[in-house]
């Protein structure tokens, strides 16, 4: 008798987002106890893994550099929703949540995802190569956005604290949107070849020739499941947020560490997707994800928060402290030295990961 063939719809990556959404619906509005916290964590992990799989399917169908935008923009849009939701329910205590989350996202993407990708690629090939024109342009945009939205509020004088006035916040939001839109046009239309993978000899690779792309129907199904998985990820993270806040307070960590936890949860799909791409010798895809995610985290979050402040009460603290600005400055210098040559070794990956470790340690023990 022939063996029973499993239906194509009953795979783990197909079922996980639906189950995660079901767990979210059943747990919404409830105070999670220890058992429910574990169930939520398992569902969250399954949704993250499913999101990575479906993002890669969609990315393979549309090709680079469009594929890298799919996960970066989708995750960041939902990150904005999570920040705004927590700010609505948290009051003045969450005045710095947007800053803490966005800065954590920048450090995680520019040091964690970038460093991990370089290290994984260099472990297979002693020296990895990437497209320095596109990576340099992306890094320049990230740095400009970070300085405009996270550094300048510390030095402006219209408000007494590290925050923008209404006019300044409006300008920063509009400037962020203009920069992000200009970068997307550059990446996908005007200079698409700057963001495509390169061969060891430096030639641009236009398509992934290792496998046939999925069918349009499969790509659409994966796109829908990707949205479901991402909604489940952020929803489950929100349900678990009281437990996260209580846990952070119980172990004596600063309240600002909540923003770090949120960024780690939201960026988990992108981190796994970038690591998978690096292991498959698609380092440029990893860099597109890392720098694109950092850019989207600032360029989309700040304008959305600026609009939300029309209805939200209380201050919006965006300016970084002295320690954070030093970490940002060192990250920028190291990233420039990494990107400009267009080649990297394991050392650059380790340097970026050590910077991430320093950020995490100082976030715990400022």
Contacts of 323 (CB under 8 A, 6+ apart): 362, 366
What is residue 80's predicted lDDT score, i.e. its pLDDT? 76
What is residue 175's predicted lDDT score, i.e. its pLDDT? 95
141-306-270 Cα angle (round to 5): 50
Q: Report the predicted TM-score, pTM, of the whole model to 2 decimal places.
A: 0.83
Query: 128 forms bridges with which residues in the sheet?
Result: 344
What is residue 4's predicted lDDT score, i.e. its pLDDT? 45
Homologous superfamily of 32-364 = NCX, central ion-binding region (1.20.1420.30)
What is residue 277's predicted lDDT score, i.e. its pLDDT? 85
- State which H helix or E strand residue 344 sits in: strand 343-344
- State which H helix or E strand residue 343 sits in: strand 343-344
Beta strands in 84-172 (DSSP E): 128-129
**Pairwise CA distance, residues 333 & 336, whole Å:** 5
**Which residue, 89, 105, 132, is CA-closest to 302?**
105
**Pairwise CA distance, residues 35 & 79, whole Å:** 26
Mean pLDDT per segment of 10 residues, for the chain of length 366 residues? 49 86 85 81 83 78 68 72 72 81 94 94 87 90 95 92 91 93 84 73 51 78 86 80 75 84 82 87 87 88 86 85 96 94 91 96 90
For 65-89, give the DSSP string: THHHHHHHHHHHHHHHHHHHHHHHH
Which tokens belong to 235?
């929803």
What is residue 2's predicted lDDT score, i.e. its pLDDT? 44
CB 238 within 8 A of CB 258: no
Residue 213: CA count within 13 A, CB half-sphere: 15
């Amino acid at each position: 008798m022939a063996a029973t063939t499993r239906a194509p719809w009953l795979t783990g990556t197909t079922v996980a987002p639906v189950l995660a959404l079901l767990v979210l619906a059943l747990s919404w509005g409830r105070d999670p106890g220890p058992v429910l916290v574990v169930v939520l964590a398992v569902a969250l992990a399954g949704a993250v893994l499913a999101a990575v799989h479906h993002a890669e399917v969609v990315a393979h169908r549309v090709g680079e550099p469009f594929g890298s935008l799919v996960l970066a923009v989708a995750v960041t849009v939902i990150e904005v929703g999570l920040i705004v939701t927590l700010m609505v329910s948290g009051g003045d205590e969450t005045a710095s949540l947007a800053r803490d989350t966005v800065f954590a996202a920048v450090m995680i993407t520019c040091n964690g995802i970038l460093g991990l990708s370089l290290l994984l690629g260099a472990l297979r090939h002693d020296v990895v190569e990437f497209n320095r024109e596109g990576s340099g342009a992306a890094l320049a945009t990230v740095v400009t956005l970070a300085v405009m939205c996270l550094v300048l509020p510390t030095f402006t004088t219209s408000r007494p604290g590290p925050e923008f006035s209404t006019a300044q916040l409006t300008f920063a939001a509009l400037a962020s949107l203009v920069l992000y839109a200009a970068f997307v046009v550059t990446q996908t239309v005007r200079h698409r070849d700057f963001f495509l993978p390169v061969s060891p000899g430096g030639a641009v690779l236009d398509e992934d020739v290792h496998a046939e792309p999925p069918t349009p129907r499969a790509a659409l199904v994966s796109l829908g499941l990707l949205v479901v998985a991402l909604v489940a990820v952020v929803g489950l993270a929100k349900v678990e947020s009281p437990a996260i806040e209580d846990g952070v307070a119980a172990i004596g960590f600063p309240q600002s560490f909540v923003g770090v936890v949120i960024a780690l949860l939201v960026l988990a799909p992108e981190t796994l997707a970038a690591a998978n791409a690096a292991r498959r010798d698609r380092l440029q895809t990893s860099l597109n994800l890392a720098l694109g995610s950092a850019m989207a985290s600032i360029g989309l979050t700040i304008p959305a928060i600026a609009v939300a402040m029309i209805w939200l009460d209380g201050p919006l603290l965006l300016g970084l402290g002295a320690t954070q600005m030093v970490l940002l400055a060192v990250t920028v210098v190291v990233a420039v030295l990494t990107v400009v040559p267009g080649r990297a070794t394991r050392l650059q990956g380790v340097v970026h990961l050590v910077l991430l470790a320093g950020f995490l340690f100082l976030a715990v023990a400022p």
